Chains A and B, each alone.
Chain A
Amino acid sequence: MDTSPNLARAQWMSLLAQAEPAELAAAMDAFAPPADTAWLRPAQTGLYMLRGRVGGTGPQFNFGEITVTRCSVQAGGHIGHAWVRGSNPRHAELAALADAMLQDSAQHASLRMQVIEPLRRALDTRRDDASRKAASSKVEFFTVVRGE
């Protein structure tokens, strides 16, 4: 299955896709694209069919489609890919560029510190906020005995 370099890459690619486009753009602002940057596959929007499972855990069924934008870039001698939900080409371009630059050992540490970790914290904060808001509407129902 996944070897550990792939696992690390899968994690940062997931995070880049889950990031808010504006946050990603702001974080990547500090990093100029390498001189040899070439767009192997310009951002293109297409469809994935979302699959569900009958009863949540049973056999698969085709649920409906979702727009996805993909992009591939060669930068600094590395090939970066991105698959991002939605139809925002800039999001996919920045994610692909970040993926290529994160594979470059000279830049990896600074990107991890200035892009990946802040995006992870922002994502965690968003999820925690939503969950604590939802938790404020947690209820205790009491059964009232009939005839009393």
Chain B
Amino acid sequence: MYVAVKGGEQAIARSLELLAEARRGDTAVPELELAQIREQLRLGVARVMQEGSLYDEELAALAIRQAAGDMLEAIFLLRAYRTTLPRFGYTQPLDTTAMRVRRRVSGTFKDIPGGQVLGPTYDYTQRLLEFDTTTPAVVKSAETPLPSNMPRVLDLLDAEALIERIDAGSDPEPMDLTREPLMFPADRATRLQNLARGDEGFLLSMAYSTQRGYAESHPFAGEIRMGEVDVVVCPEELGFAIEIGAVTLTECQMINQFHGGNGVPPQFTRGYGLSMGEGERKAMSMALVDRALRCDELAEPSYAPAQNQEFVLSHSDSVEASGFVQHLKLPHYVDFQAELSLLRTLAAQHATDTDEQPLSAAGGQRP
């Protein structure tokens, strides 16, 4: 138990000054500009936006600078800032089918309508440090742009009825975890909101565990697409829908084996991942974990950590996890004094009891 303490104001003030000095580093080196972070650390900005659950490149860049590059701290700063802003409403659902694609690959089909487009990716780099900073190559544009409408790869399987069909159904209003607490069992929409905000490292490990045998999902990356999607809102004052800008998104559609069950014939099933900016690792991890968490719905044996929604969803959030782990360093003086005095009493009793052997003498066996 944490008990409030008084005092230390002076020391705290000095500590904040030390932090500010350490954050700035050598003042002979120019301070980072937000535009530099936004432009040259764009993948870090994307992660902070995604897990901070707020799409705003400027604010994310500011948070990264203030947190001295500690991404989890920057995510915390963004989460804290969003609570100061009014909520105007909900956007219309993002239409990722109409994405202006800049990257699109499939691990399942070689030839896909619209073609495979590599875009900016680290996949084919040699992972060798480049010591000489060179001016970037000028990209030689193709004569013709990509088709304006890239069909979804999974629709090819859908046409043969080999993959589960997905539609909006009655299009129910989804639960909003920023307004209501997480309750179990959580439906798929709620789980996806949780996973979208979830820590990339945690989801990556959970996803990896499913591939290594802790939940057999036999995944294939059906389609990964990255590009720009328009944001559409319909304000009450207007009564009609307008675009307010565009966001960069990465979407991953996993295809997973399914032997049939719960009245469903054998077919492929889907796992879904969506991430702000170029967040491919996050989107793929999210899709694998999304699929693993569908075990009950598909009547699959559930034994692995990644299939346990209470385990996954309760531990995915870095702000909560980091807060609870790190609160241990705050004063627990009263709590600890109580334990200390109990232990002293027990030790004293033990010393007077001559028959009892210490644990080490009894071969470490507890009674």
- Contacts from A to B (Cβ < 8 Å): 2, 6-7, 9-10, 13-14, 17-18, 44-68, 70, 72, 81, 83-87, 127-143
Contact = CB atoms under 8 A, between A and B. Distances in A.
Report which residue of B102, B189, B196, B228 has the largest number of chain A beta carbons within 10 angstroms of its beta carbon. Answer: B189
Given A47-B82, A58-B168, A87-B59, A53 B142 contact: no
B240 A56 contact: no
A96 B116 CA distance: 41
B167 A61 contact: no
Given A53-B168, A58-B167, A59-B169, A10 B55 contact: no
Report which residue of B110, B115, B242 has the largest number of chain A beta carbons within 10 angstroms of its beta carbon. Answer: B242
Nearest to B143: A132
A138 B142 contact: yes
Interface residues of B, number: 83
A48 B91 contact: yes
Interface in B175-197: 175-178, 188-190, 192-193, 196-197
A85 B166 contact: no
22 contacts: A2-B240, A17-B244, A47-B85, A49-B89, A51-B90, A54-B188, A55-B166, A56-B251, A58-B168, A59-B188, A60-B168, A60-B172, A61-B189, A64-B54, A65-B82, A67-B59, A70-B88, A131-B101, A131-B145, A137-B117, A140-B116, A142-B110
B76 to A, nearest CB: 15
A64 B176 contact: no
Contacts of A127: 100
Report which residue of B152, B168, B174 has the largest number of chain A beta carbons within 10 angstroms of its beta carbon. Answer: B174
Contact of A136 (B89, B139, B193): B139
Interface SS, B side = mixed
A52 B55 contact: no
B247 A47 contact: no
B152 A14 contact: no
A57 B167 contact: yes
A54 B171 CA distance: 11
B281 interface: no
Contacts of A66: 54-56, 91, 231, 247
A90 B355 CA distance: 83
A137 B59 CA distance: 32
B140 interface: yes
A134 B87 contact: no
B94 A62 contact: no
B59 A63 contact: no
Given A65-B54, A86-B245, A138-B117, A50 B88 contact: no
Given A17-B242, A54-B188, A67-B56, A60 B93 contact: yes
A50 B55 contact: yes
A46 B85 contact: yes
Contacts of A140: 116
Report which residue of B118, B152, B244 has the largest number of chain A beta carbons within 10 angstroms of its beta carbon. Answer: B244
Contacts of B349: none
A85 B274 contact: no
The 6 A-B residue pairs with the shortest CB-CB distance, nearest first, are A85-B245, A131-B145, A135-B142, A14-B243, A61-B189, A132-B141
Nearest to A63: B196
Contact of B140 (A6, A59, A68, A136): A136
B54 A132 contact: no
Nearest to B105: A139
